[in-house]
Structure 1
Amino acid sequence: MVRLGRAAALARAAPSRVRGGNAEGPRRRPASRYRRRDPLPPARDGQPPHPRGVEPRRHGERPAVPGLRGQGRTGRRQDRRVTAPRVGIVLSAFAAQPAADLVAIAREAETRGYHAAWVGETSGYDAVTLMTLIALSTERLQVGSAVVPVQTRTPVVLGLTAASLNHCSNDRVLLGLGLSSRIIVGDWHGLPFSNSLQQIREAVEIVRRVASGERVTFEGAFYRVKNFRMTAPPPARPVRVVLGALGPEMLELAGEIADGVVLNWIPPEAVPASVERLQAGARKAGRTLQGFEIASFVRTCVTDDAPAAHATLARDITGYAIVDVYASFFRSAGYAAEVDALNAAWRAGDRAGAVTQISPRVLAGLGVVGDEAFCRRRIAEFARAGLTQPVVLPFVPPAAPDPRAALLRTLRTFP
């Protein structure tokens, strides 16, 4: 997934900053120094975050069509839950928390019925370490990276990583790979930068071959591997690789070579066009999208203060819209007038004026803000548009009196 450059970082630093871009049968959860007693506050309805009597689903099983969830404290029947096949959660939204708290939040997400927990990697926690902790602390939850840049680790290392994570998780890992920015790759890591799709293609091939246990010799434009073979046993099932994608070329590549895709900042109306690109790529490989994961991050804030949340969302969108690749994507999604006006104001040095160009229409398309009932309905609309997994990315206004509680309110609204 494309990372922000210096200009975007300036916008993100404007007055606000989002706080929130199978084995058979049960297995014994290993003892962990990260396990903490009662690490989370009670849920908003007064019930504990890990209620007894919750019937677990088997790994990969779709939730039953939900009905009414009984009585709330007011005696009124609660709203119907999202009827999407699967809903994910972005744990990177809780990045300000200690790692042990993130693990506890992942456990709660599993208890609540989330299908997957996703983590990113930029300048916070190492994605692989966090994924390992989550995998060892849960039993059914899928664990995905969104994304690990192929430019900062060799594909041999990524192949070993994928195999190791599959062993730790009983094949519950989705290895999300993508291309990062010149700043992250060149300035931060001091490595040669390329945004070539060929690098992704080569990396995915090597990752799969290494993780399968075969002896690998490879000569490509970006990578050279000579006579390497993993000595650890390969995982029981092939590793699953998903690609962070935005533009049409990367979408087609994902449809051709990957097991899924992670989208970003996409309104429901633009999902069908992205699916068409994925299908075009799949046809090149002589396959269909059967079993293909189509996930997308959806910025979500369950709140009673919609104006404050919308102001935060507008500043966040601005930080992306001044990056060329996202500006192009937003134009193709139907927001050309707003993006052009925003960039004109930004180039003129009017940062505050740029943010004001984010119209209510853009806010409604690119984010989900409102009370519990509205947010559930809206996330369901993303699923009906063609996503196999809407991924809730919680965010809160910076002035929220208790940001952690506000983030947990959003998490506890779904699935």
Structure 2
Amino acid sequence: MTAAMEPGAQALFDKFGTYILPGRVSDPRRGIEEAQEAERIGLGCVWISERYALKEPAVLAGAVSQATSKIRITGTMYATMRHPLVTASVADLMQAMSGDRFRLMFARAVPAYMKMLGSPPITMERLADLISICRRLWAGEKVDYDGILGKFPAISLTDRHGGTPPPIIFTAIGPKSLEFAGEHCDGVLLHPFVSAQGVKNSVKIVRDAAEKAGRDPMAVRIYHNIIVAPDLPKDEEEAVVGGRAITYFELPGFGDLIVDINGWDKGVLEQIRAHPKIASLNGKPADQAYTRQELVDVSKLIPQQWLDEGAAVGTAAQCADQLMAYLDAGADEILLHGSSPKDMGLLTSELKRALAAKGL
């Protein structure tokens, strides 16, 4: 029996992907090996985040497209950091390079971080206009635009791939951003530590917004980003899950939205933000100042309930069974985050078992 014929194998490919090079990076070449390993163990997508150091998504996505043959590739870009023509061109070229395997994701980023970079805030208005411009360029139009993004009298893609336009995904947490995704995007990526009930709540907001906008609500795919720690040593598990969780919960706005969508106690956020390590940052994001390991002591403030409901931790079998709850809640595809593909071989075997048991 080939791997493709194995029970649950096709569902694994269709419904599960992974980040490559999660967190801060010293050797970006490792991402190529991680992408190849993800494809080898049967995952269907690799996701690339944006970090201005050794993780530039346009470069890395191009390299991955040549090192793999079938896995989907999602590259994240901050909407105000590139000229619209550059963004549209990168995505179009990636479709040509990869054989229509590329997906473009826009993230809003922390406003204070964008301000620190001297980049305009990523507002819904800017995003809507950028999405419209990209789609028009991919359709072969010459665009004359004068608006919030700037003045572009005559921009076009002189040479186009001409294949399938890349799907546009938006990262969203709160009701307004979820509604925006339903109205404008092909998919929405939910935030780590959103519980299964939070996924269910989010799905309803997205689908209702799409229907209200006159779109097919089921055509907007729901992607859920989940931190996984299958069979990891205790110290590594604490860094992967707890340390990373702090980088989300400490952020004003982001942490509050996660807690709101899950119905958790906001008082915990006050304790986290009052911790000396976090308070001393004066608004600088924690993941720009500390490694995950250095935030483990702060993570002791997180209630165990939050980790149990918002992540998948334990044996590979336990993690696989936990992940099924997010599919049941309405996620179309799950992004496995935190652990490296080299640590997910046993997990993917257990996921095939769990998916086959569900008849998928």
- TM value normalised by structure 2: 0.82
Report the counterpart of residue 301 of structure 2 in structure 1.
357
Report the counterpart of residue 104 of structure 1 in structure 2.
33
1:326: how far off? 2.1
Report the counterpart of residue 408 of structure 1 in structure 2.
342
Counterparts in 2 of 1:411 and 1:120: CA distance versus 1, 3 Å: farther
Report the counterpart of residue 378 of structure 1 in structure 2.
322
RMSD over aligned Cα atoms: 2.7
1:115: how far off? 1.2
Higher Rg of the two aligned structures: 1
Counterparts in 2 of 1:93 and 1:308: CA distance versus 1, 3 Å: closer
> Any conservation in 1 of the 2:316–2:346 contact (CA below 8 Å)?
no
Name the amino acid aligned to 2:335: V
Counterparts in 2 of 1:140 and 1:97: CA distance versus 1, 3 Å: farther
Report the counterpart of residue 70 of structure 2 in structure 1.
140
> Any conservation in 1 of the 2:207–2:218 contact (CA below 8 Å)?
no
**Which of 109, 117, 127 in structure 1 is aligned with 2:57?**
127
Report the counterpart of residue 177 of structure 1 in structure 2.
106
Report the counterpart of residue 41 of structure 1 in structure 2.
none
After the TM superposition, which of the residue ranges 344-353 and 94-103 deviates more from structure 2? 344-353
1:87 aligns with 2:8: no
1:334: how far off? 3.6
**Which of 178, 186, 199 in structure 2 is aligned with 1:259?**
186
Name the amino acid aligned to 1:382: Y
Counterparts in 2 of 1:54 and 1:91: CA distance versus 1, 3 Å: farther
Name the amino acid aligned to 2:137: V
Aligned residues with identical type, % of pairs: 18
Counterparts in 2 of 1:264 and 1:409: CA distance versus 1, 3 Å: same
CA distance in 2, matches of 1:315, 1:204: 34
1:256: how far off? 1.0
**Which of 245, 249, 254 in structure 2 is aligned with 1:321?**
249
After superposition, the C-alpha distances for 1:104-139 in whole angstroms (9 at most, x for unaligned) are 221221122211100001233110111111112222
Report the counterpart of residue 401 of structure 1 in structure 2.
none
Q: Which runs of 5+ in 1 are unaligned?
A: 1-52, 57-62, 68-80, 396-405
Name the amino acid aligned to 1:177: F
Indicate the SS of the match to 2:344. Answer: helix
CA distance in 2, matches of 1:182, 1:82: 37
Report the counterpart of residue 354 of structure 2 in structure 1.
none
1:297: how far off? 1.4
- TM value normalised by structure 1: 0.72
1:217 aligns with 2:144: yes
> How many residues align structurally?
330
CA distance in 1, matches of 2:241, 2:33: 27
> Any conservation in 2 of the 1:213–1:229 contact (CA below 8 Å)?
yes
After superposition, the C-alpha distances for 1:124-170 in whole angstroms (9 at most, x for unaligned) are 3110111111112222111002x310011121111111111111111
Counterparts in 2 of 1:303 and 1:157: CA distance versus 1, 3 Å: same
CA distance in 1, matches of 2:100, 2:188: 18
Q: Which runs of 5+ in 2 are unaligned?
A: 279-295, 352-360
CA distance in 2, matches of 1:312, 1:140: 28
After superposition, the C-alpha distances for 1:159-211 in whole angstroms (9 at most, x for unaligned) are 111111111111111100122234443323x33x2242101101111111112
Report the counterpart of residue 287 of structure 1 in structure 2.
215
> Any conservation in 2 of the 1:394–1:410 contact (CA below 8 Å)?
no
